[in-house]
């Protein structure tokens, strides 16, 4: 089986992290977001994954070389000359996606995190004779998503992208199974699967929805990314508790890369991920935060609800809280208070940021 992951989009809502690398390569729980998806696709029987990209191809190529081997899945790039939206990339990769035997393929948004019930979705898709099956989940605020209205068999009656008025609270989770016949509906031009394809498939009674049982989050913006980490680690505690950190100084769900070094007398957790090569000083307090590859945090510093980008340095006796996001290689002096500071890559921070601000 084959799959296409929609990797394009500039990831503006995840800046400043996406100033250093494309959104799907931003680490989530210590590995690039997209790796969670490729691993799940492999488990569901996919042997070839198409990455639909529209910018930074050189970064993507390096990534593919490294992971293709590690994962044992063929990964190919389908490069757009201009952003093709969420449906155009399917037309561009038509040759790869349509095997001529009617075999369905998966399509994934690259920024969604869940337990990926791909096999169950595929069985459901076949049993319903669907042209497309959408994974749906329930959210409190449906306005920023695509809303799906369906009957008790899962047949979709309406699909409304980013509705202004309340339509329902079941939303498109950004994961689809499609039969190759859907490709006939998609022209080779920038076009949206949500606005220009799904409503027509629904009108032909060929669009179905499979309801997700479990957590889900679009981690394409910092607040949701941190919420997503909480949900992911909660699920990991049930499925794979041995992969989480245990012992004195660890409180709640914490993921620590084996190459990270943690000092004496720290208190870490809940909902913290510490990636490869990090060095955490003595007496450090970390909660609800992401510490990306190569970060150093000096002694007696407290970090809460924040994301620290690759290779950044946080000084001693400091405090960071309230959705700070440090880009790559940010250098912070000692004894600073950072409240909701969003800092661009390669900056040096010498003074406190007492209220939320973007540091250019």
Q: Which residues bind ligand GDD (CB under 6 A)?
A: 6-9, 52-54, 80, 83-86, 89, 109-112, 145-146, 161, 171-172, 174, 194, 218, 220
Determine which residue in the list 80, 98, 111, 299 makes contact with Mg ion, applying CB under 5 A: 111
Burial of residue 132 (CB within 10 Å: 0-12, 13-18, 19+) is buried
Residue 27 makes contact with Mg ion by CB under 5 A: no
The backbone torsions φ and ψ at residue 72, rounded to the nearest 5 degrees and listed phi first, read: 70, 35
Q: Measured from the CB atom, is 107 or 130 closer to ligand GDD?
A: 107
What residue has token string 């090569």? 277
Q: Measured from the CB atom, is 76 or 237 closer to ligand GDD?
A: 76
Q: Measured from the CB atom, is 24 or 180 closer to ligand GDD?
A: 24
Query: Looking at the DSSP assignment, which residues form a beta bridge with residue 148?
Result: 159
* Chosen from ligand GDD, Mg ion, none, partner binding at 229 (C-beta under 5 to 8 Å by type): none
Residue 114 near residue 173, CB atoms below 8 Å: yes
Residue 332 near residue 317, CB atoms below 8 Å: no
What residue has token string 């950072």? 338
Q: Measured from the CB atom, is 180 or 220 closer to Mg ion?
A: 220
Within the chain, where are the H helices? 33-43, 57-71, 88-92, 94-97, 118-128, 198-203, 222-239
Q: Measured from the CB atom, is 148 or 291 closer to Mg ion?
A: 148
Q: Smallest gap, in angstroms, from Cβ of residue 212 to Mg ion?
A: 16
Q: Measured from the CB atom, is 137 or 318 closer to ligand GDD?
A: 137
Query: How far is residue 263's CA from residue 326's CA, in Å, rounded to a whole number?
Result: 22
Residue 223 near residue 134, CB atoms below 8 Å: no
Q: Please, what is the Cα angle at 30 between 24 and 33, to 5 degrees?
A: 20
Q: Smallest gap, in angstroms, from Cβ of residue 86 to Mg ion?
A: 10
* Chosen from Mg ion, ligand GDD, none, partner binding at 133 (C-beta under 5 to 8 Å by type): none
Instruction: Please tell me the number of Cα atoms within 13 Å of 20 on its side-chain side.
Output: 20
Q: Smallest gap, in angstroms, from Cβ of residue 330 to ligand GDD?
A: 25
Q: Smallest gap, in angstroms, from Cβ of residue 124 to ligand GDD?
A: 19
Nearest residue to Mg ion, by Cβ distance, number only: 220
Residue 9 makes contact with Mg ion by CB under 5 A: no
Q: Applying CB under 5 A, which residues contact Mg ion?
A: 111, 218, 220
């Amino acid at each position: 089986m084959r799959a296409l992951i929609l990797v394009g989009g500039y990831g503006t809502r995840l800046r400043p992290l996406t100033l250093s690398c494309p959104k799907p390569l931003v680490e989530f729980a210590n590995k690039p977001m997209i790796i969670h998806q490729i691993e799940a696709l492999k488990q569901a029987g996919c042997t070839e994954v198409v990455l639909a990209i529209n910018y930074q191809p050189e970064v993507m190529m390096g990534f593919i070389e490294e992971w293709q081997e590690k994962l044992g899945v063929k990964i190919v790039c389908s490069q757009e000359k201009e952003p093709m939206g969420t449906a155009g990339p399917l037309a561009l990769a038509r040759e790869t996606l349509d095997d001529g035997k009617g075999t369905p393929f998966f399509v994934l948004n690259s920024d969604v995190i869940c337990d990926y019930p791909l096999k169950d979705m595929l069985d459901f898709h076949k049993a319903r004779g669907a042209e497309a099956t959408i994974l749906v989940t329930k959210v409190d605020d449906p306005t920023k998503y695509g809303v799906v209205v369906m009957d008790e068999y899962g047949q979709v009656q309406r699909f409304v992208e980013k509705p202004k008025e309340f339509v329902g609270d079941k939303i498109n989770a950004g994961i689809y199974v499609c039969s190759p016949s859907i490709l006939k509906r998609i022209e080779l031009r920038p076009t949206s699967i949500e606005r220009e394809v799904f409503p027509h498939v629904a009108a032909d009674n060929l669009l179905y929805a499979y309801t997700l049982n479990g957590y889900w989050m679009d981690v394409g913006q910092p607040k949701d990314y941190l919420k997503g980490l909480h949900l992911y680690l909660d699920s990991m505690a049930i499925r794979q508790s041995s992969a989480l950190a245990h012992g004195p100084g660890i409180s709640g769900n914490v993921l620590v890369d084996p190459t990270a070094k943690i000092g004496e007398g720290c208190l870490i957790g809940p909902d913290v991920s510490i990636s490869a090569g990090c060095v955490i000083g003595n007496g450090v307090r970390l909660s609800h935060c992401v510490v990306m590859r190569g970060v150093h945090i000096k002694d007696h510093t407290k970090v809460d609800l924040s994301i620290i980008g690759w290779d950044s340095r946080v000084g001693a006796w400091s405090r960071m809280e309230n959705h700070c996001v440090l880009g790559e290689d940010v250098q912070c002096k000692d004894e600073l208070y950072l409240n909701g500071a969003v800092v661009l890559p390669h900056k040096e921070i010498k003074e406190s940021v007492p209220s939320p601000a973007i540091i250019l």
